[in-house]
Amino acid sequence: MSFSIPTELYQLFRNMPRVDSPHDYSLYVTDPRDDSFLRTLVRRLERMGREAGFDEWERLNFVISFVQSLRYRYDNGYRALYPIETLVHRGGDCEDTSILTAALLRHMGYSVVLLFFEHWGEKAAHLVVCVAEKCQITQ
C-alpha cells in the first residue's frame, strides 16, 4: 500500500513541542490537525478489509496489523512521534506505534486507552493500546 503525506503536514508535526511524560501521550492521539489524513487512511484500510471479506473483528485486527508491519525502532526514551511522523518514518518504538494505532482505531469509532507499563526497579517500560469495547482489565 502506498500513499502520500503532504510535506507541510509532516513539517507541522515534526516541529511540534514534545511531551516528556508517557502519561500525556493522549495529546498525540487526539491532535485534530491530522484528522483529515487519518480518516482517509482509515477509510482505505476499512475498504480493503471489507473487500477481503473481513468481519468487524478482523478489520480491527487488520488495522492493528498494518501498524505492526512497520519497522520497530528502539529509541531508549519517551520522545514520542505523532502519527504522521510514524507513518513518514515507516516505524517507531512502542509508544510511536501505539499512538498511531490508537489514532487510527479512534477514527474507526472505537474508544481507546493507552496503557503504560513501567517495570519497577528497571529502566524498562512499555506502552500498549486497549480497545475499551474489547478489553477486560483485572487487578
> For all residues of the chain together, what is the average pLDDT?
88
**Secondary structure E strands in the chain:** 71-72, 91-92, 112-118, 125-131
The model's pLDDT over 76-102, given as tens digits with 9 standing for 90+, comes to 666 889 999 999 999 999 889 999 999
Q: Which architecture characterizes domain 7-131 according to CATH? A: Roll (3.10)
Model pTM score? 0.88
Q: Taking Cα atoms as reference points, which of 85, 36, 94, 45 lies closest to residue 66? A: 45
Q: Where are the domains of the chain?
A: 7-131
